[in-house]
Amino acid sequence: MLLVIDVGNTNITVAVYQNKENKGSFRLRTKTERTSDEYGVILVNLLKEREVEKSMIEDVIISSVVPNLMYSLRNAIYKYFGVNPMIVEPGLKTGISIHTDNPKEVGADRIVDAVAAYNEYGGPVLIIDFGTATTYDLISEKGVFEAGITSPGIRISADALWTQAAKLPEIQIEKPKSILAKNTITSMQAGLVYGYIGQVEYIIEKVKEETGIKDLKVVATGGLGRIIAGETDKIDIYDPDLSFKGLYYIYEKNKANRDGRKEWK
């Protein structure tokens, strides 16, 4: 079995793959202060809940945008699973060519999503990842990462609203029945959700306008993406497992040169 781990700014999402099949997934909060033993015990116990023993894990691949926790996480994988994990970083084969001003600035999470979307749905494709930040990445018909757009995520926008305005309460992010709000909570929900839908639709149309690709496929992912994807016809596919699929594809492209049981220091 292959353990795939996607470390984001807010959550760490984990899935177990057997061949190409996702056998189960879970998430935990991203905490940089955890020790390797804490990560190891948490992972082992969560896997047991899905009837997966640590001895069944043959290899591990990690994508991370949080460098500060990588030493503890890598050490945890080695100590508890006996595996030196594959890390998504420059040097791995992905099948995606990055044509930006500074390719090294493109985060591992965006590359992973690009690999998954291109392999699953083909190109040209625009990938929208509704994470801590919301990212829009354009992949060409030939698998070239052409451009990226970054905006504040929905939760960042919501946090700013209630932390910077003293009288506004913390609310649940959901679409109200009407944009014509009658109270403070629904007025905030309307502004956040309908406003975000408007942003997403405008950016999609602007990308299509500037590229001239009118039939551009749009694929969305990320936890809060479900709220937005269900409210607009500009998004063609919502795939919550896009990052897991990308990690699996990258592992498959690189496993021939792999010795995951070698010593890690």
Alpha carbon distances (Å) from 123 to 34, 56, 98, 202, 216: 39, 36, 14, 21, 8
Residue 258 belongs to some domain of the structure: no
Distance CA(108)–CA(127), nearest Å, equals 14
Residue 142 belongs to some domain of the structure: yes
Nearest alpha carbon to residue 83 among 251, 262, 256, 265: 262
Q: Are 22 and 116 in contact (CB under 8 A)?
A: no
Pick the last residue of a domain from 56, 87, 118. Answer: 87
Interstrand relation of 217-221 and 125-130 (parallel, antiparallel or unpaired):
parallel
Pick the last residue of a domain from 87, 119, 135. Answer: 87
Interstrand relation of 133-139 and 125-130 (parallel, antiparallel or unpaired):
antiparallel
Domain that includes residue 198, residue range: 97-242
Distance CA(224)–CA(129), nearest Å, equals 9
CATH number of 34's domain: 3.30.420.40
Alpha carbon distances (Å) from 132 to 11, 52, 224: 9, 30, 10
User: Is 205 found in the same domain as 120?
Assistant: yes
User: Is 175 found in the same domain as 65?
Assistant: no
Cite the active site residues.
109
Specify the number of domains making up the chain: 2
Q: What is the pLDDT along the chain (265 residues), one digit of tens a residue?
A: 999 999 998 899 999 999 888 999 999 999 888 999 999 999 999 999 989 999 999 999 999 999 999 999 999 999 999 999 999 998 899 999 999 888 888 999 999 999 999 999 999 999 999 988 999 999 999 999 999 999 999 999 999 988 888 888 888 888 999 999 999 999 999 999 999 999 999 999 999 999 999 899 999 999 888 889 999 999 999 999 999 999 999 999 999 877 665 554 4
User: Is 148 found in the same domain as 52?
Assistant: no
Tokens of 33: 């202060």
Tokens of 237: 């596919």
pLDDT for res 216: 96
User: Is 115 found in the same domain as 42?
Assistant: no
